[in-house]
Amino acid sequence: MKRVYNFSAGPSVLPESVLRRAADEMMDYQGSGQSVMEMSHRSKVYEGIIGSAESLLREIMGIPSNYKVLFLQGGASSQFAMVPMNLMNKNHKADFVITGQWATKAQKEAARYGEAHIVASSKDKTFTYIPDLDPSTFSKDADYFHICMNNTIYGTRYTKLPETGDVPLVADISSCILSEPIDVSKFGLLYAGAQKNMAPAGLTVVIVREDLIGNAMDITPTMFNYQIHADNGSMYNTPPCYTIYMCMLVLEWLKNEIGGLEKMKAINEKKAGILYDFLDQSSLFHGTVVKKDRSLMNVPFVTGSDELDAKFVKESAAAGFVNLKGHRTVGGMRASIYNAMPVEGVEKLVAFMSDFEKNNG
Ligand SMILES: *Cc1c(COP(=O)(O)O)cnc(C)c1O
């Protein structure tokens, strides 16, 4: 068996020990005589799995008790509608910062349900920075304020949160959840598709302050109502059972093998540091993002030549470094170095880039 170094932006690499454990438990989960794929979501044994997944997430992220944790489906993309349907319920207005494609989609979708006011944007420079935010430009009567915390495609991230006062801060944390500690109490709602840093595709995690739910718009489909899912322990309908199990295994890995989010952050800073340090001194490759806003998770870079970029993507894949092609809308390369990418993977990538530079410089 040969495993590659997988730099995919999502679905993405999972910890090897997690995959091994899932393989070991495939035919018979802990003496139940069944695979987790096969069992009823209403069974005692499955209740244990979803219960552990939630309590581990609460413990690792330090989620306060007045927040609900919901295990949903439909991807982060469904949250672009679900958030406004549930939260745009007083003044039918929300503020948005446009830092890339996902933030844009969130704003456009919200505009179908209310006033989706754009506070700032970095579109003028192809989203290569996080705009400075002036709280005096924020809508005082907004029902919420939305940001995309880590911009997966462009490789930027917020290092300080907007000061929104009493207006609940809502963040798409799909590509940075569990990458470092985060103060959940500063947010009204957090959401993430699981396929970047938590599990395989199929699961969306929502962490929402209790007082914000229960006032969804009348038009809200039952399946889009947070209250319904909160009241039913994420089991109003069949949840994505196997993906939640995989999420539980990833959380156990984070707690027991990594040692929590402070440790994870140190490892992620080390990995990103290796790559950015190389890019900063390279005569061929360079990063595309303003230094202070660089993502720890997604690192876009270019050679400046489309031909050399294509050659690099091809040769790196042949050498076992896969999915390094940049997003189809931006070109170049992007290395996604999520939690499960080992330090060694980044070191070897940088060695490969260095050789490529010598041969093509
Ligand atoms: C991947 C991603 C999405 C889209 O997630 P889906 O689960 O495919 O809907 C949204 N926001 C961010 C920040 C992402 O990285």
> What secondary structure does DSSP assign to 30-87, as a single string?
TTSSS-TTTS-TTSHHHHHHHHHHHHHHHHHHT--TTEEEEEE-SHHHHHHHHHHHHH
Q: Read off the CATH number of the domain in which 127 is found.
A: 3.40.640.10
Please state the atom number of ligand 1 nearest to the C-alpha of residue 102: 11
Which is the closest atom of ligand 1 to the Cα of 10?
A: 1
Do 91 and 220 lie in a common domain?
yes
Give the percent of the chain with pLDDT over 70: 100
Cα(239)–Cα(341) distance, integer angstroms: 28
Tokens for 310, please give them.
């294509």
**Token pair in block for residue 319:** 């050498």
Q: What is the pLDDT of residue 198?
A: 98
Which of 93, 196, 271, 325 is catalytic? The answer is: 196
| pLDDT attached to residue 328 | 81
Minimum-distance ligand 1 atom for the alpha carbon of 150: 13
Output the residue whose Cα is nearest ligand 1's atom 10: 76
Please check whether residue 6 lies inside any domain of the structure: no
**Of all protein residues, whose CA lies closest to atom 8 belonging to ligand 1?**
75
Q: Is residue 57 part of a domain?
A: yes
Phi, psi (5° rounding) for residue 276?
-65, -40
pLDDT for the residue 329? 79
Q: Is 289 within a domain?
A: yes
Q: What is the mean pLDDT of residues 189-216?
A: 98
Q: Are 198 and 177 in contact (CB under 8 A)?
A: yes
pLDDT over threshold 80, residue 361: no
Q: Average pLDDT, stretch 99-112?
A: 98
CB 9 within 8 A of CB 329: no
Q: Domain boundary residue among 208, 228, 257? A: 257
Q: Are 168 and 3 in contact (CB under 8 A)?
A: no
| 248 Cα to the center of ligand 1, angstroms | 20
The 298-302 sheet, strands edge to edge: 286-287, 298-302, 333-336
Active site residue 172: yes
> In the predicted model, what is the mean pLDDT of residues 203-222?
98
Strand partners, 70: 206
Q: Quick one: pLDDT at residue 331?
A: 87
Q: pLDDT of 39-91, one tens digit each?
A: 999 999 999 999 999 999 999 999 999 999 999 999 999 999 999 999 999 99
Catalytic residue selected from 172, 253, 271, 309: 172
Question: pLDDT at position 126, please?
Answer: 95
* N-term to C-term CA, the chain: 34
Q: For the residues 316-329, what does the mean pLDDT come to?
A: 94
Q: Which two tokens stand for residue 248?
A: 């539980």
108: annotated active-site residue: no
User: DSSP state, 255?
Assistant: I
Q: Report pLDDT digits (tens) over 227-272.
A: 999 999 999 999 999 999 999 999 999 999 999 999 999 999 999 9
Convert the pLDDT of each residue in 135-185 to its tens digit.
Answer: 999 999 999 999 999 999 999 999 999 999 999 999 999 999 999 999 999
Instruction: Supply the mean pLDDT for the chain.
Output: 97
212 found inside a domain: yes
Q: Which residues line ligand 1 (CB under 6 A)?
A: 10, 75-77, 102, 148, 152, 172, 174-175, 193, 196
- 49 with 171, same domain? yes
What is the tally of structural domains in the chain? Answer: 2
Question: By three-state DSSP, how is residue 259 classified?
Answer: coil
Residue 39 shares a structural domain with residue 187 = yes
Residues 229 and 269 in one domain: no
For residue 199, the 8-state DSSP code is: S
Cα–Cα dist 333/311, whole Å: 11
Residue in the block written with tokens 């080390």: 270
User: Residue 69 in contact with residue 57, Cβ under 8 Å?
Assistant: yes
Q: Are residues 189 and 325 in the same domain?
A: no
Three-class SS state of 303: coil
Mean pLDDT over residues 307-317, rounded? 97
Which whole-number Å values give the CA distances from 77 to 102, 142, 202, 233, in the listed order?
A: 8, 22, 12, 22
Q: What percent of the chain has pLDDT over 90?
A: 98
For residues 323-338, give the mean pLDDT: 93
Catalytic-residue membership of 270? no
Nearest atom in ligand 1 to the alpha carbon of residue 148 is: 13
Q: What is the pTM of this model?
A: 0.98
> What one-character-per-residue DSSP string does 304-333 give?
S-HHHHHHHHHHHHHTTEE--BPPTTT-SE
For residue 338, what are the domain limits?
260-360
Q: Once rounded to an integer, what is the mean pLDDT over residues 22-48?
A: 97
| 292 has pLDDT over 80 | yes
Query: 68, 95, 102, 271: which is the annotated catalytic residue?
Result: 102
**Distance in Å, CA 171 to ligand 1 centroid:** 12
Peptide bond into 11 cis (omega under 30): yes
Give the model's confidence band at 106: pLDDT under 50 very low, under 70 low, under 90 confident, else very high: very high
